Amino acid sequence: MAFIPISQVKPGMILSADAADVNGRLLLAKGQTIDANHLMVFKMWGVSDVAVEQADTDMPDADKPLDPAIMRRVAEQLRPAFANNDLSHPAVAEIFRQAVLHRARLAPPARVGAVTEFSRPPSPPSSDGAARRRNLQSRDIQLPEIPSMIFKINDIIADPFSSADDIAQVISNSPGLSALLLRIVNSAFYGFPSRIDSITRAVTIIGSREVSALAVGVITMEVFKDIPKNVFDMRAFIHHSLACGVLARILAASGNIRNTEQMFVSGLLHDIGRMVIFHYFPDQAPAMLAMTGTGSLYEQEKQVLGFRHTEIAADLFEKWKFPVTLSQNIVFHHRPMAAQDPVKAAVVHLADILAHGLGEGKSGEWRIPTLDATAWEKLRLSPHILSGVIPQALHHLGFLMTVFPA
């Protein structure tokens, strides 16, 4: 399957994945032959690219047959990382299958053994004293004050009399942020056919909630991104965060979930609590990341620090007065059924599992998070949609990685 820009699509090509508009509404089903009328409809509804079947001579890497021996080796390597999951569950089985295909495709034969994000570095000696530990246990962290721009954005969003111009004016005060947001909203990921050349226009077209959420997401990542290199590879962390964001937005659109705004930012910020931990506990974090034994990093956090990254995220969002709809998607991404809107939290939950499974970036976690079967049921998705969602997400992820600051 190959995603190609709409400008290169010719009548007669066959869709290899459903084509939907930016809100996830189906425009043409997989397997249909595209005609001139369809092309007009795609352009009208802002579809920027579609997946089409290609001739064998022009077969992209994604569709080339893989060596079964390589796939078996990748599967063997990956299986222990799925130890907290039930591989007989149809969704988990499909996630595992897609993960093996993706990793086998990427790994040159000589490097197949390297499923690196699940092998841990040697454990450095722990240096935490009793006083420090008490601070950790009581989560006694001086979280930074709310950045003034987030404060202003929150204020405007809460004001029923505010206009698109008010949001745009605040964001436009930061040329760097404005330029980055415009690159993101002009990318194929947002799929608008005409160029959006100002934040005011972005707010008008995409909506003030989505643009302000994007701005808040980018600013929040910026605040905590200075992590010492010996603690964590920040680029790999941003890669994981972006992968989760892209997957969350596409999954939400595929699941016909209403109001998919904020889903990208929910995914982008889902592990922000872990960034806070890496940022504030540079001494403890490497020891925790290097822990051996059973369980997951998610469980180790509780044992070593006394709290989890999701609890730190909740503290931060409370202090920074994040909208509840956004913070709930993030705080409950490991136990979505406890969220006010379990479906949206379940989308982030599934996106996180997929990002880990595919090996797109790193969060420090050495086990694939456990899929909550009830949350999966809530999503009402067929496991088969993953084979369409994943290539689409990877296509957009590649671009976002090039524009997102590390």
- Return d(Cα 355, Cα 362) in angstroms, integer: 9
Whichever of 210 and 352 has its CB closer to Fe ion, that residue is 352
For the CB of residue 18, give the shortest distance to Fe ion in the complex, in Å: 27
Closest by alpha carbon to 255, among 339, 380, 384? 380
Helix (H, G, I), strand (E, B) or coil at 15: strand
Q: How far is the CB of 349 from Fe ion (least distance, A)?
A: 9
3-state secondary structure of 270: coil
**Least CB distance to Fe ion at residue 357 (A):** 11
> For residues 266 and 363, which CB has a smaller minimum distance to Fe ion in the complex?
363
User: Cβ of residue 363: shortest distance to Fe ion, in angstroms?
Assistant: 4
Task: Answer for the pair 81, 118: CB distance below 8 angstroms, yes or no.
Answer: yes
Q: Whose Cβ is closer to Fe ion: residue 117's or residue 352's?
A: 352
Q: Are 351 and 240 in contact (CB under 8 A)?
A: no
Which residue number, 3 or 237, has a Cβ lying nearer to Fe ion? 237
Q: Burial of 71 by CB count in 10 Å (0-12 exposed, 13-18 middle, 19+ buried)?
A: middle
How near is the Cβ of 334 to Fe ion at its closest, in Å? 6
Buried b / exposed e along 205-227 (16+ C-beta atoms within 10 A): bbebbbbbbbbbbbbbbebbbeb
For the CB of residue 43, give the shortest distance to Fe ion in the complex, in Å.
Answer: 36
CA distance between the termini of the chain: 30
With respect to Fe ion, which residue has the nearer C-beta, 49 or 352? 352
Q: Least distance to Fe ion from the beta carbon of 290, Å?
A: 18
Go through the chain and tell me how many residues it has.
406
Q: Whole-number minimum distance, CB 309 to Fe ion, in Å?
A: 6
Residue closer to Fe ion by CB (options 103, 240) is: 240
- Helical packing angle, 68-78 and 90-106, nearest 10°: 120
- Specify the residue, 261 or 352, whose C-beta has the smaller distance to Fe ion: 352
Nearer to Fe ion, 48 or 363 (CB): 363
Binding site residues, Fe ion, CB under 5 A = 271, 352, 363
What are the DSSP calls for 169-185, one per residue? Answer: HHHHT-HHHHHHHHHHH
Integer CA distances (angstroms), 324 to 190, 247, 300, in order: 24, 21, 27
How many Cβ atoms from other residues are within 10 Å of residue 399's Cβ?
16
Cα–Cα distances in angstroms (integers) from residue 396 to residues 194, 208, 340, in the given order: 18, 23, 29
